[in-house]
Amino acid sequence: MMLESKPDVDNLRGYLNSIRDAPATIEYQYDPDATKECNAIYKHLETSPDLKFIWRFLKPFVRGNIVYAPNTTIIRRVMSRIRRYTASPKISNFTKEQNYLKIDPKVYKSALENLEYIIKLYESQIGSNNGILSTVLDNAFKPSVQKAHDLLISYQEEIREFSSERLTSIRKQLSEVLKCYTSITLEHFATEKEAEARSMALSEKNELLAQITFENSRDDILDPFVRYKIR
């Protein structure tokens, strides 16, 4: 399938000026469809002087809609493919990490016990009458073993704090944040005029990602050459 596009030229300078001239204090409109946490994030992004410029560009990609026309069977099939690339990101359930947390303490405990035995062995040899062996053990081997021993003790203390319950808590927090990234919504209309009216309403909230109009489409056949407009 070959696509022939007729992109509109955006007035970038005017767009940048509209952002620059926007009031410093913006009253955020609470979104009842979003969670309390997401509303807090959106409010911070929209009202912060340092972030509102960047958010103005990113918002359509995070919360935007794609409006298209006409609403025919073949066009819906084309647009359904686009939906595959706009799904919300997912996070793992940290199963592997939780399993490692269960195994690691046992392995490190065993290693720690072995190191403690080696340290005691060194100390017993150092206290012997073999001066050369005592010097070699004390200067070459014992400091490295003692350092490894101390690191293992420090690791054990950290692993107690970073438990599987904490991983679960982190996952829940990340899930709440990712909910604020909504999948791109596809809205279809019978005519380009109806799509334009909806696009204007979305533009006022900066929630329009694109408006696509297919000009020479038929209901059940996709022509080899498809003419479309993107705004």
Per-residue pLDDT of the chain (231 residues; tens, 9 = 90+): 444 444 444 555 565 566 555 554 567 788 888 888 888 888 888 888 778 888 888 888 888 899 999 988 888 888 888 777 766 666 555 565 555 555 555 555 666 666 666 666 666 655 555 555 556 555 555 666 666 667 666 666 666 555 566 666 766 777 777 777 776 789 999 999 999 999 999 998 888 999 999 887 777 777 777 788 888
For residues 191 and 120, membership in a common domain is answered with no
**How many Å apart are CA 39 and CA 46, to the nearest integer?**
10
**How many Å apart are CA 212 and CA 43, to the nearest integer?**
30
Residue 102 lies in a domain: yes
Q: Tell me, what's the pLDDT at 38?
A: 85
For residues 80 and 101, membership in a common domain is answered with no
Contacts of 47 (CB under 8 A, 6+ apart): 25, 26, 28
Report how many domains make up the chain. Answer: 2
Say which residue the tokens 């469809």 belong to.
Answer: 33
For residues 226 and 158, membership in a common domain is answered with no
Residue 211 lies in a domain: yes
Residue 178 lies in a domain: no
For residues 50 and 102, membership in a common domain is answered with no
SS3 of residue 89 by DSSP? coil
Q: Tell me, what's the pLDDT at 7?
A: 43
For residues 77 and 149, membership in a common domain is answered with no
Residue 91 tokens, joined: 């996070």
Q: Count of CB atoms within 10 A of residue 201's CB?
A: 13
pTM above 0.85, yes or no: no
Q: Tell me, what's the pLDDT at 84?
A: 74
Beta strands in the chain (DSSP E): 2-5, 65-69, 185-188, 208-214, 225-230
* Domain housing 150: 95-173
For residues 79 and 188, membership in a common domain is answered with yes
Residue 103 lies in a domain: yes
**How many Å apart are CA 112 and CA 153, to the nearest integer?**
8
Q: Count of CB atoms within 10 A of residue 224's CB?
A: 6
Q: Tell me, what's the pLDDT at 123?
A: 62
Say which residue the tokens 């599987």 belong to.
Answer: 164
Residue 114 lies in a domain: yes
Q: Tell me, what's the pLDDT at 201?
A: 93
**How many Å apart are CA 157 and CA 116, to the nearest integer?**
17
**How many Å apart are CA 131 and CA 173, to the nearest integer?**
60
